[in-house]
Each structure stands twice: as C-alpha cells, then as structure tokens.
Amino acid sequence: MSRERSGKLFEEAQRILPGGVDSPVRAFKAVGGNPPFIARGEGSRLYDEDGNSYMDYVCSWGPMILGHADPTVIAAVTDAATRGTSFGAPTELETTLAKLVTRAIPSIELIRFVNSGTEATMSALRLARAFTGRDRIIKFAGGYHGHSDGLLTRAGSGLATLGIPDSPGVPAAYAATTLVVPYNDPAAVEATFEQHRGEIAAVIIEPVAANMGVVPAAPGVLEGLRDLTSREGALLIFDEVISGFRVAHGGAQELLGIVPDLTCLGKIIGGGLPVGAYGGRREIMEMMAPLGPVYQAGTLSGNPLAMTAGIETLRRLGEPGVYEQLEEKSAALAAGVNAAAEAAGVAIHLSRVASLMTAFFTADPVTDFETASRSDTAAFAGFHGRLLAGGVYWPPSQFEAAFVSLAHGDEDIRFTIEAVGSALATS
C-alpha cells in the first residue's frame, strides 16, 4: 500500500500547520509513521489521497454512528444549505433538535447548543460554579473533557498519549481549582469532599470513560457519586460527549440508571458537523443568559446545517432495533479480536461498553488511568501500523476508544477480525 501522496501532503501541511494537523492525535505521534490524508468517506470506509481504502473505527472520534456520507443526512444538509448557512437568529431547527435530545435524555429539561464538546463542559462548569457559589471542581485522572484551561489537568486522550501532565499556558491558580482523583476510587472522592467541605461546585465525570481507552465505572461508583454530591450540595455533571446516543439512546445515564444534574453532549448530536450542548435541571439552566446572569454565547451556535445533520442522525437512532444492531456488531468484533489475540498468543485486555472498545495491550485488568498506563504502547504501535497496512483504520493511540457504526456490516466485521489476526500474528 503506497501512501506517497499522503506523505507529500503531510510534509506540506507541516510547513503551515503546527505538526501538520488541527488536532494533535491526527499526527500519529503515538504510533509513528505518517497519517493517511483522507479524500472521502462512505459508509464504514475511508479512502485516502492515494486511493487506499480503510475500514474505519475512528468514525471521526464518535460522531459518525450512521457511517460516512449517510445519504439521508447528506441530502438534508445539502437542502438546508440552499436556504442559507448561518443567520445568527433563532430557527425552528434548534427547537426540533432540542426536543429530540430531551425526549431521549429526560434529565435535560432545558438545553443550550454550542459548537463543541469543549464549549459544553466549559460552560457547564461556569454554570455549576454560579449555581452553587463555589469555585472548586473534581475531575478524574484520565478523564478528558475538552481543552478549556481548568480541565487540562491529568486529562487523558492526546495528553495521556503525549505524556503531558498539564499544559503550559494554564495559570497555576486557576488549575488549582480543579481537584483530580483516580477513576473508580469512591474513597478518594469522599476524602476530597471532606478536605474541601463547602467548596466543591461540581464533580464532572465521563460515566463511561473513553479517553484513557474505554474504562467502565465499577458497579456502585456512580450511585455513590450521585448520593455524595447531593448530600454535599455539589452538582453531578455527566460528560456524555462520547457516551450520549452511543452506549444507549439515552446515553450512559439511561444505561446505568443514574440521573445527573447537568449533562454535556457533542459528537453524535451534530451528525458530523460541529455541535456541542449542555443542559439539565430547569432551575439550574434558568441561570443562563438571557434568563439569568451567567453569560455564554456563540456566533455559530445552533447553526442550521449542524442542527439539520443532528436532527437526521437522531431520527435514525430513534428507530427500533438500532442499538440492538450496534450491540450485535460490537459483540461480534470484540469476540473476534479476543479470539485472534488468543490464537496469536498476545495478551490483551479488551474493554468494551456497547459500541465503544479498546484493546489494551496488557494482561491485567484496566480500571483506571494508572492501570491503563501499564499497557505496552510500543506493541500497540506495531499492531496499529500493521493493521493500517492491512486496511483497517484503528484509533492511532492506545488510550482512545474504537467506534463501531451502523454502517459496519457483517462482512466488514469479518474482514476486520481477519486483519487483526494477521496484525497480531506478526507481533
């Protein structure tokens, strides 16, 4: 497989974009080699500038749950574009998408659309601080909630990969308002609340962690957090930017039966266009301007093309049997990967929640950022390169989730398992 043209494009990009990319993980630094430059996507496949095709398990890091260039979404967005691409004024589309989201996730009584997951979490925390009159927040090591200043402390995802504990440029005094505790460690959260009684505005958590690789919350942990935050007068914020409309129609909160105070969304609700959202209990959300004093705004927020892509995507996800199909495909892939690893004599820990999965290159269980970090990243990098050469585009970092879409057919899954077997056999 030649990737000559991609290589040339990457060189050219590096002369004008830092690292040749607009988001660090795309540069393939964690796995080595050059990234394919993508020319187009269709269904379960990506096609690069050299004409190679790949079975895609990145799915734009989650949004493309229907697959690439879904004909219904594309037709709706194309049609919407002929009526104008941005107005900076209210449209019916925003209410339509809001209804689709709140019907699926009833804990969201009022919702505000923004342009990214980063904006959603940043704004939800501002609101939580305003509502409680407190400054500190708790996040979990390896949890990624976007790149706003206060959340770049022990974040997972690209940062875990790059080994940057904190980003320079974040004022120390501000970062100090973020308290970081290990995932799946309720005693640590209790101790932190005790130490900072009356100071903690909110706990923000990925209820299914997906940015240290996929790590489910252990049984009882989220229930405990719900009780503790209620008792302490702090808000519980679920960051469902990945898990929303992914692990179940109603997100992790439906799957696990826990009701947060605020929820952050992104990715799937924009159907592949830039969207984020945050919402929750009415009395909290009513603090947002123009109803209340907490300011947050956006020139392109509620953008008609993005709303349209989200509406079409959520309508499809509301059809019966969709999540059962996703589960079937994902279970088949996970079973195949496990069997291939066993046949190849390679120790992996396959962690899966619904259509999210990570093959950790470690024999030990993974329950938090520390245990995830024990994975053999060099072995993963070799595996990734061979898999790419075999025509499968797996996330280019050990600490990311692979995403299965509705466009992945049985034949696609079989092809992938075979390619995984070959990539593991030569490790």
Catalytic site includes residue 144 = yes
**Candidates 5-13, 42-50, 138-146, 302-310 — which segment interacts with ligand PMP by CB under 6 A?**
138-146
Q: Looking at beta carbons only, is 6 or 263 nearer to ligand PMP?
A: 263
DSSP state of 24: G
φ, ψ of residue 238 to 5 degrees: the values are -90, 120
Place of tokens 């269904």: 43
Q: Which of 56, 70, 239, 376 is catalytic?
A: 239
Q: Which of 54, 144, 183, 278 is catalytic?
A: 144
Does 250 bind ligand PMP (CB under 6 A)? Our answer is no
Q: Which of helix, strand or coil describes residue 254? A: helix
DSSP codes, 218-230: PTTHHHHHHHHHH
Does 269 bind ligand PMP (CB under 6 A)? Our answer is no
Does 142 bind ligand PMP (CB under 6 A)? Our answer is no
Does 242 bind ligand PMP (CB under 6 A)? Our answer is yes
**Candidates 143-151, 190-198, 248-256, 347-355 — which segment interacts with ligand PMP by CB under 6 A?**
143-151
Q: Which of 54, 183, 267, 412 is catalytic?
A: 267
Does 132 bind ligand PMP (CB under 6 A)? Our answer is no
Q: Looking at beta carbons only, is 52 or 253 nearer to ligand PMP?
A: 253
Does 277 bind ligand PMP (CB under 6 A)? Our answer is no
φ, ψ of residue 389 to 5 degrees: the values are -65, -30
Burial, 225: exposed, middle or buried (Cβ in 10 Å; 0-12, 13-18, 19+)? buried
Catalytic site includes residue 267 = yes
Place of tokens 């719900």: 226
Min dist CB 329 to ligand PMP, Å, is 21
Q: Which of 178, 192, 211, 358 binds ligand PMP (CB under 6 A)?
A: 211
Does 54 bind ligand PMP (CB under 6 A)? Our answer is no
Does 140 bind ligand PMP (CB under 6 A)? Our answer is no
DSSP codes, 343-389: HHT---EEEEETTEEEEES-SS---SHHHHTTS-HHHHHHHHHHHHH
Element (H, E) at 52: none
Q: Which of 20, 244, 266, 280 binds ligand PMP (CB under 6 A)?
A: 266
Does 116 bind ligand PMP (CB under 6 A)? Our answer is yes
Element (H, E) at 66: none
Does 239 bind ligand PMP (CB under 6 A)? Our answer is yes
> In sequence order, which residues have a C-beta less than 8 Å from that of residue 171 and are 6 or more positions away?
149
Q: Which of 36, 43, 117, 213 binds ligand PMP (CB under 6 A)?
A: 117
DSSP codes, 157-182: HHHHHHT-SB-TTS-HHHHTTEEEE-
The site for ligand PMP (CB under 6 A) is made up of: 61, 116-118, 121, 144-146, 206, 211, 239, 241-242, 266, 276
Point out the residues that are catalytic. 144, 239, 267
